[in-house]
């Protein structure tokens, strides 16, 4: 029989410092949990114990830490990042059926000592795992102390039976207590005897065996100061021995068999590991009898594939006047709709597309009930609308294109993922299983549980997984129904009801229409441009190889670094984690002295243009000759939207050659592009939110804001500001918005740090309310736990409570930037909805196509141009009422470059 015992806090502490800081998408720290569990699995595998328990101190102990005053032997309180993981690891251990033993008034050491003694008395082999050498006194010939050490080469384990200890230290484990009694241990508050250190302590105990024996033989000892001390401080030595002794008789009450090691891989534990996103641990749960995760809600799910049954089902919905239904549509990459799940909370059904139940029929039924007033709640509604549009007739599609998806498809639908995003925009994804867990407190299977390694799209192609697909869809519908109301209640409670109802949901429809429209792109022109780039890239390649004296992959920062800084011996290389940095700003400094650098920088620029834009965009052109990007509404932490496949929000504009890419986007026949962008929206938001009179005044006077800033910062008359001063002031303005540091600003504008600090100080003096405003943002975010926009949109900032300086600094910058960037995002979202809705309401055919954070692009029919211009101007400028005017710059053009 074998008993394995772990020292909970000690191993958790080891894991915390031994591993990089892991967090899950909710911002919860998990690194120590992960390390602990890995360590635990390793020991269980190696030791094959029959019995297993973990002991914790009741209260989080402090730890010695080598980086922190090691020589003083002081201890450091537990980092909050580690502290928060203590209850979590205990929760997981309990879920695994592992006894987590804590006792008020007793240390974990005493628990471990007592359990190991009992184990030995029962004839068991005992292993105690701890990072703490204090436990070595417990070693016997049956009790092994294992101390794992994390080294670069991996984890090494030191094992000590009594004889190993004696070999290493020259005293028995029990005698080690006496050693400590003499030498003391300041970090454990064991006083010891003054003047006796490690050497003397070991020598004496090795010779006499115990402090008592030493005391009895003091007369034989050579006269010395320490001997006098020892005699004088005998009481202290006795007390020290008591303090150093681990108690083997803690009154632990354990039920018979409770430490028996059973199946660790329980359903409950699995779900916790999933919740903490310990993805690398999940495979361990496979092939155990708990692999299938179920709860009994699924029992009531029903699949219907009988046409008349479906008919009745939809009739019932209409008849009973259901107001709200959760729904989910199943379709893979092929966009073929396989079925849909619907839930009213009581019953949840999956309608499978087969026989007379065509996708077309099903979609029209859904549209019908929605138009009849049943509010449908989906996950990723915008995508659902695309799936439905895909099966519509040409006439219906045309109507969607012209009149918009809201009126033509679902006039009255909501998206629960968008709602969940509002509650916490920093998460990676908003899936049904996650929201179910968070909002309803229930555990349901995720895609991976139901489909194994397959993704949903693959599962849809596999008939054997029909059951799983049905269950998945039903859960989505069930949770959409059940969670939406709760999510909304929280949104309302947080004062974000307006954002959801009046901004995000209308925006979803607006984005859908933008995606449906797409934007025309000249594929031929791109191909030609790509050719042109290739020619120049080849020239540069040859030039670079010639200068380097060999051929290598210029695209590989690693190879490039070696060539530049080792082979060519260029001075001034900076290092990254993995090698030399070859980032543009580093190389630029080296360019004047090294001709190869210029070629490399040009090569990089052209290679980027070619791969990402010239070549990358070509396959994005659809059969209609247009590019249909997807605008993501639940991605950014600040409330901005993002754009993918392709990303149309980072099309080049600054560099001369890059502008060519913008030319290939053009309006359809009979149209021009109207492009309008807000002028300095973030600084205007800053002026409004800070209430700073000087900044407000500058905007009100219609001044060039960077010049105005320069005038104040450099104490120069407005019309004598130099270009350099203006450029520097511009950088300061950006810095303020991003959460400035003197270091960053100095690097950006190429001045000393001290000088940069002066600029910042001058800035804060020039705009007196700014400083208090920014400080207020930080303290408010720290107090509330989140940053807030003018409209009440929130972003959690847990970093503000980090014990790590860098993370905390980051949190402060986030606290300053998010309200500004987020408010600007709110404003343009409002403007988008208003422009979009008004174009439709006024019967205009012109369409909003793109948003690039502060810019809107409208494909404008020439005969509507005047009207559209005024719609854009009015709606953008009046999107928000700030203490400074919102101004836009608007241009027309026959391509995107001209219009911008």
The yes or no reply on residue 888 touching DNA (CB under 7 A) is no
Judged by CB under 7 A, the stretch of 136-144, 361-369, 728-736, 884-892 that binds DNA is: 728-736
Residue closer to DNA (CB basis): 187 or 612? 612
The yes or no reply on residue 82 touching DNA (CB under 7 A) is no
CA pair distance 457, 469, nearest whole angstrom: 10
The yes or no reply on residue 640 touching DNA (CB under 7 A) is yes
Residue closer to DNA (CB basis): 264 or 820? 820
Whose structure tokens read 């029909």?
466
The yes or no reply on residue 738 touching DNA (CB under 7 A) is yes
Judged by CB under 7 A, the stretch of 148-156, 410-418, 553-561, 859-867 that binds DNA is: 553-561
The yes or no reply on residue 821 touching DNA (CB under 7 A) is yes
The yes or no reply on residue 437 touching DNA (CB under 7 A) is no
Binders in 661-680 for DNA, by CB under 7 A: none
Among 809, 862, 874, 898, binds DNA (CB under 7 A): 809
* φ/ψ bin of 469: left (φ > 0), alpha (ψ from -120 to 50), beta (otherwise): alpha
The yes or no reply on residue 216 touching DNA (CB under 7 A) is no
Residue closer to DNA (CB basis): 238 or 632? 632
Among 159, 258, 312, 611, binds DNA (CB under 7 A): 611
Residue closer to DNA (CB basis): 134 or 277? 277
Q: Are 317 and 365 in contact, with CB atoms under 8 Å apart?
A: no
The yes or no reply on residue 404 touching DNA (CB under 7 A) is no
Q: Are 116 and 124 in contact, with CB atoms under 8 Å apart?
A: no
The count of residues interacting with DNA (CB under 7 A) is: 70
CA pair distance 688, 878, nearest whole angstrom: 15
CA pair distance 383, 399, nearest whole angstrom: 18
**For residue 664, how many C-alpha atoms fall within 13 Å in the half-sphere facing its CB?**
27
Q: Are 367 and 340 in contact, with CB atoms under 8 Å apart?
A: no
Residue closer to DNA (CB basis): 322 or 454? 454
CB of 655 to DNA, least distance (A): 5
Among 221, 653, 844, 862, binds DNA (CB under 7 A): 653
Residue closer to DNA (CB basis): 32 or 661? 661
* Sign of the alpha-carbon dihedral angle for 870, 876, 879, 883: negative
The yes or no reply on residue 17 touching DNA (CB under 7 A) is no
The yes or no reply on residue 644 touching DNA (CB under 7 A) is yes
Reported residue count of the chain is 900
CB of 282 to DNA, least distance (A): 12
Tokens found for residue 639: 């409330």
The yes or no reply on residue 781 touching DNA (CB under 7 A) is no
- Using CB atoms within 10 Å of the CB of residue 359, give its burial: 0 to 12 exposed, 13 to 18 middle, 19+ buried: buried
Among 442, 601, 764, 862, binds DNA (CB under 7 A): 601
The yes or no reply on residue 650 touching DNA (CB under 7 A) is yes
Judged by CB under 7 A, the stretch of 344-352, 470-478, 771-779, 815-823 that binds DNA is: 815-823
The yes or no reply on residue 58 touching DNA (CB under 7 A) is no
Nearest to 864 by CA among 853, 872, 854, 874: 872
Residue closer to DNA (CB basis): 236 or 680? 680
Among 85, 140, 582, 846, binds DNA (CB under 7 A): 582
CA pair distance 605, 710, nearest whole angstrom: 31
CA pair distance 406, 507, nearest whole angstrom: 11
The yes or no reply on residue 713 touching DNA (CB under 7 A) is no
Judged by CB under 7 A, the stretch of 191-199, 355-363, 466-474, 810-818 that binds DNA is: 810-818
Q: Are 329 and 336 in contact, with CB atoms under 8 Å apart?
A: no
621 DSSP 8-state letter: B
Residue 879's CB is within 10 A of a number of other CB atoms, namely: 22
Residues 193-219: b if buried by 16+ CB within 10 A, e if exposed: beebeeebbbebbeebbbbeebeeeee
Among 18, 191, 411, 557, binds DNA (CB under 7 A): 557
Among 65, 83, 203, 608, binds DNA (CB under 7 A): 608
Judging by DSSP bridges, how do beta strands 794-796 and 786-788 pair with one another?
antiparallel
Residue 549's CB is within 10 A of a number of other CB atoms, namely: 9
The yes or no reply on residue 658 touching DNA (CB under 7 A) is yes
Nearest to 6 by CA among 135, 120, 97, 172: 135
The yes or no reply on residue 724 touching DNA (CB under 7 A) is no
Three-state DSSP class for residue 376: strand
Among 82, 400, 468, 814, binds DNA (CB under 7 A): 814
The yes or no reply on residue 745 touching DNA (CB under 7 A) is yes
Among 2, 371, 813, 867, binds DNA (CB under 7 A): 813
* φ/ψ bin of 574: left (φ > 0), alpha (ψ from -120 to 50), beta (otherwise): beta
Q: Tell me how far CA of residue 680 lies from CA of 48, 142, 333, 737, 820, in angstroms.
A: 66, 74, 40, 11, 12
Q: Which positions lie near DNA, rule CB under 7 A?
A: 553, 555-559, 561, 576-578, 581-584, 587, 601, 604-605, 608-609, 611-612, 615-616, 632, 635-638, 640, 642-647, 649-655, 658, 731, 734-735, 738-745, 747-748, 805-806, 809-810, 813-814, 817-818, 821, 852-855
């Amino acid at each position: 029989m074998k008993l394995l015992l772990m020292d909970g806090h000690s191993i958790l502490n080891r894991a915390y410092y031994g591993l990089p800081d892991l967090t899950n998408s909710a911002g919860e720290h998990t690194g120590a949990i992960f390390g602990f569990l890995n360590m635990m699995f390793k020991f269980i595998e190696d030791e094959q114990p029959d019995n297993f328990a973990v002991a914790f101190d009741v209260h989080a102990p402090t730890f010695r830490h080598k980086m922190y005053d090691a020589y003083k032997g002081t201890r450091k309180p537990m980092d909050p990042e580690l502290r928060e993981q203590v209850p979590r690891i205990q929760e997981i251990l309990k879920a695994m059926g592992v006894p987590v033993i804590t006792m008020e008034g007793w240390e974990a050491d005493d628990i471990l000592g007592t359990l190991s003694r009992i184990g030995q008395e029962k004839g068991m082999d005992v292993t105690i795992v701890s990072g703490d050498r204090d436990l070595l006194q417990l070693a016997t010939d049956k009790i092994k102390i294992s101390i794992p050490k994390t080294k670069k080469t991996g984890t090494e384990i030191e094992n000590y039976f009594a004889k190993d200890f004696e070999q290493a230290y020259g005293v028995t484990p029990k005698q080690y207590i006496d050693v400590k009694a003499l030498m003391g241990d300041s970090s454990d508050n064991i006083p010891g005897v003054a003047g006796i250190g490690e050497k003397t302590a070991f020598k004496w105990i090795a010779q006499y065996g115990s402090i008592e024996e030493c005391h009895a033989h003091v007369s034989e000892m050579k006269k010395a100061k320490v001997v006098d001390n020892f005699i004088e401080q005998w009481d202290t030595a006795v007390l020290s021995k008591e303090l150093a002794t681990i108690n083997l008789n803690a009154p632990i009450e354990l039920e018979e068999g409770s430490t028996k090691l059973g199946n660790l891989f329980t359903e409950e534990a699995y779900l916790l590991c999933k919740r903490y996103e310990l993805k690398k641990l999940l495979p361990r749960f496979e092939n155990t009898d708990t692999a299938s995760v179920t709860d009994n809600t699924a029992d009531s799910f029903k699949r219907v594939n009988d046409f008349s049954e479906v008919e009745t089902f939809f009739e019932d919905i209409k008849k009973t006047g259901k107001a709200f239904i959760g729904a989910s549509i199943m379709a893979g990459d092929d966009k073929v709709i396989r079925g849909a799940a619907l839930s009213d909370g009581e019953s949840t059904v999956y309608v499978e597309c087969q026989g007379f139940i065509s996708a077309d029929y099903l979609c029209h039924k859904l549209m019908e009930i929605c138009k009849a007033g049943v509010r449908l709640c989906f996950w990723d509604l915008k995508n659902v609308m695309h799936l439905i549009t895909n099966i519509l007739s040409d006439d219906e599609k045309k109507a969607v294109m012209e009149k918009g998806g809201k009126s033509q498809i679902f006039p009255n639908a909501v998206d629960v993922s968008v709602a969940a995003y509002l509650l916490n925009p920093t998460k990676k994804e908003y899936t049904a299983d996650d929201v179910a867990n968070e909002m309803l407190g229930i555990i349901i299977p995720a895609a991976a549980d139901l489909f194994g390694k397959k993704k949903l799209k693959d599962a849809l192609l596999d008939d054997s997984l029909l059951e799983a697909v049905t269950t998945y869809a039903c859960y989505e519908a069930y949770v959409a129904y059940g969670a939406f109301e709760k999510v909304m209640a929280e949104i309302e409670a947080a004062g974000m009801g307006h954002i959801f109802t009046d901004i995000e949901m209308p925006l979803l429809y607006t984005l859908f229409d933008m995606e449906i429209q797409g934007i025309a792109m000249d594929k031929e022109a791109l191909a030609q441009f790509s050719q042109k780039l290739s020619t120049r890239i080849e020239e540069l390649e040859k030039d670079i190889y010639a200068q380097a004296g060999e051929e290598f992959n210029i695209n590989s920062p690693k190879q490039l670094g070696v060539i530049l800084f080792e082979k060519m011996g260029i001075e001034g290389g900076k290092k990254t984690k993995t090698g030399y940095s070859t980032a543009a700003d580093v190389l630029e400094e080296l360019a004047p002295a090294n001709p190869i650098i210029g070629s490399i920088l040009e090569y990089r620029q052209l290679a980027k243009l070619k791969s990402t834009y010239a070549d990358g965009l070509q396959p994005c052109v659809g059969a209609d000759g247009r590019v249909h990007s997807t605008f993501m509404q639940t991605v950014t932490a600040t409330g901005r939207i993002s754009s993918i496949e392709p990303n149309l929000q980072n099309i080049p504009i600054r560099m001369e050659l890059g502008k060519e890419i913008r030319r290939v986007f053009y309006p359809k026949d009979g149209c021009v592009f109207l492009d309008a962008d807000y002028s300095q929206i973030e600084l205007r938001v800053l002026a409004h939110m800070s209430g700073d009179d000087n900044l407000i005044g500058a905007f009100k006077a219609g001044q060039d804001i960077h010049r105005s800033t320069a005038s104040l910062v450099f104490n120069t008359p407005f019309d004598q500001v130099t270009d350099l001063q203006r450029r520097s002031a511009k950088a300061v303005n950006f810095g303020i918005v991003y959460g400035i540091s003197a270091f960053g600003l100095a690097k950006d504008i190429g001045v000393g740090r001290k000088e940069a600090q002066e600029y910042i100080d001058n800035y804060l003096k020039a705009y007196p309310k700014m400083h208090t405003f920014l400080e207020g943002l930080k303290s408010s975010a720290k107090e509330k736990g989140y940053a807030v926009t003018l409209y009440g949109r929130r972003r959690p900032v847990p970093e503000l409570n980090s014990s790590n300086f860098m993370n905390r600094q980051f949190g402060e910058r986030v606290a300053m930037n998010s309200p500004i960037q987020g408010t600007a995002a709110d404003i343009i979202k409002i403007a988008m909805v208003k422009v979009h809705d008004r174009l439709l309401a006024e019967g205009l055919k012109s369409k909003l196509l793109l948003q690039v954070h502060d810019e809107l692009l409208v494909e404008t029919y020439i005969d509507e141009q005047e009207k559209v211009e005024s719609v854009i101007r009015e709606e953008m400028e009046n999107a928000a009422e700030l203490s400074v005017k919102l101004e836009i710059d608007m241009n027309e053009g026959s391509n995107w470059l001209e219009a911008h």
